Amino acid sequence: MSRCDVPSNLLQSPGLPRSDEGDPVFAEPWQAQAFAMTVHLHERQVFEWSEWAQHLSEEVHRPDRAVDGSDYFDAWVAALTRLLAAKGVTDTDMVIALQRSWQRAAEATPHGQPIALANDPGRR
């Protein structure tokens, strides 16, 4: 797991996985990237802290979420996607299309090679 040294109100996000020392930790690089992207957008005033907290809380408390919190960062990404769509920054269909493109690129990328969108056979 990796540690985050970014001071931010987002460190107060409900359910954020933490180390024994209280620092946020991430099991996968994409989780740290999603966190960093959210921090960046908040710092650029794309959304207010209260808006973020509301969207994340709604996602985390959906009845189909894992009881053990193992899908916390899935909820995080869903909340960010919904919030950006609500703010008119992007639309959900575009985000889903991009997710699918990354998935196809990952599946088409030889083991040990960097995943790049150019590897998506659907983008050619």
> Which pLDDT does position 2 carry in this prediction?
44
| CB 82, CB 54: distance < 8 Å | no
> Using CA atoms, how far apart are residues 105 and 69, in angstroms rounded to an integer?
28
Q: HSE of 59 in the Cβ direction (CA atoms, 13 Å)?
A: 24
Contacts of residue 104, Cβ cutoff 8 Å, sequence gap at least 6: 120, 121, 122
Q: What is the pTM of this model?
A: 0.73
User: How many angstroms separate the CA atoms of 27 and 41, rounded?
Assistant: 22
> Digits of tens for pLDDT over the chain (124 positions)?
444 454 556 666 666 777 888 777 888 888 888 999 999 999 999 999 899 999 999 999 999 998 888 899 999 999 999 999 999 999 889 888 988 998 899 999 999 999 888 999 988 6
